Structure 1
């Protein structure tokens, strides 16, 4: 027994792991990693078999696709529970039976839901449905950890997991529900406007994406609270290896303890002091931004973003600087870097990285603030190309180029800008008569 203010060894070790509520963005983007995305897309394409006149064979093939999806999802869950936060390439450690067990688990929960309404009526059935929705993540995690369908269907197991994890489990169950609700909303939004073949691919892509993301979330909950639920991760030495690689790991661990004990303000002060005094590794900057986000300190996030962007550019980490700009734009669409001279470099990198909206928003805000800057012709030409070629806004591009030519008639790029302006005119010109 420990007193209320005393931390157990398990809690101390858990402090080394970033809590899942600080990694929700990374968790939601987990299926976009190449390994997971390949599986998600491939299995979505496989469902096109439903357009073939195969009868019962086609139905069985569809079932096998679902089994393959759940097998890969369990591979992701187990890999995450073992401390590996990158998606596995293929499902090699998970047995085929686990995919079938997930199918039977869902069937069992559906039957229990149905029986609740039949035997207890609408009110009693609603309470049963809520309890089962809360219990489903616990049942899936149990199935992943020990592979026993019987154990996963035991209500005592669900209640034991809920009692050990308490509010973090409830939060994950709520997120599981939100992921699935978002999946259905996205499908309802896009499917009616797509042709049948495309809508089928889109439907199963969204479904597969949601399954992989939610299983990764459940795996991370196991990883974060492995001591509490009696699970031993296979990669128990990963935090020690991370400490050896990161020169600021000791300070990061101290900040994690503050966060774990419900004192994010202290963690923010600790991290800010480190950055002001000596700078810090990327992990320090990332953790500081996460804590500021939890505390809702938008102005500090923007100020830190400007400072970190300058550091990243000095280190030639231009792609990472673009990511920070995008994050800051989500907080304030009018965000600008501290040095207006950096905008051209960041905007070009953003375009190369396929982030046209980031580049366009950045240049637009900058142009309003610095209409006489020497980089206006180059930046506005870049913006005009994005408007015309990637967004179909030729009229807006023409108007922008007209303003630039009027303001910088003698600039070295005036000829190129004029040529592109004339090219845009040809796009809107009527075809010549024979």
Structure 2
């Protein structure tokens, strides 16, 4: 059953809290340990159940093309080639027979490894080494035992109940064979693979899709038989034999990959959890990102309507890191949305500095207007911040707010080194923005007289000439000519 995240509808859930009955996606749980499948509920701090990729996996009937491409990856293609071509060159004696048996065991081992590999969330085939190294060769013997026991079941049914009972037993065996293969691959137990209760339970938990897959498997088997028959009938023996073997191995891998994917798709119903492994390779799943955890908590509290809680969290974060631009921006957005004028006034130096860094003149003009409505005599008491705000407002075309920010700058900050650039900015706002050339000239003249030692003093003559000619105040043009 698919579950969406409680806080992000449409996002597949990865975790479930049994106490709170909340489902969480990966965005809500950035600090979860996916590999160890451990996470604590953000609300009650109790351990949660990992859902794996069950809620986001694509149904098998939507990826048939991927199933048919699966055997043609490098690793399975090499396994098929080795197991198909090597028997052609070995001698027809006892040694050749042993080699043929070993390769057949390797191929069967690889096909069963495909089920486990896929069920664990690996959509790419296992490496070649899986077929020829390590343990697991006993799976062939186990499968033969399963076939023997199934045959014994049909025979016993015929002896005890006659033809009708034999037909029913045969129908059940044929229907349950894919389920038996899946159980055997996962549990490596003959008893579990032939237990009618086990098989019936697996089929019932998967439901209708099992029968849909069963239909696909029948079609695959018929297609494989038809292709092999065509190869044997229309090509010479030395071509048809390896071609038929290649086709048989290819269709078998497709079939087993589909069985493994069915387990992966219905992992929640079958009582286990696995995630997509190939897409997360190289990522550090044990990383604990406190910033991401904090952002997730803010997001969830906002969606729960706990605005006071979010505001307190942001204020505490700014106590620890006063100049954290991310937290300042989040606090600004929250306070603006809540129209909390008192807190906006309290944090206005940092908020205005944040807006200046973003060149957000429109947001700055709105905040200044809010502050001035609340406190008509509001003035910035930091000359550097006042000049930064003035420049941001000027470049965004907010000329009047820029003039208000820099009003009486020489009285408020008489000894500031920013006096000349501040009043030059005032002159530019008046001239370039409001076409008030006389007032602009007065400010330029003030700089020329009062700021004799400032580097801008040398440029005042050029600015005054531009003001007299009603030209935009841009200052002297840059010169790149070398002096002789």
Which TM-score applies when normalising by structure 2?
0.44
Which structure: greater helix fraction? 1
Which TM-score applies when normalising by structure 1?
0.48
Larger Rg: 2
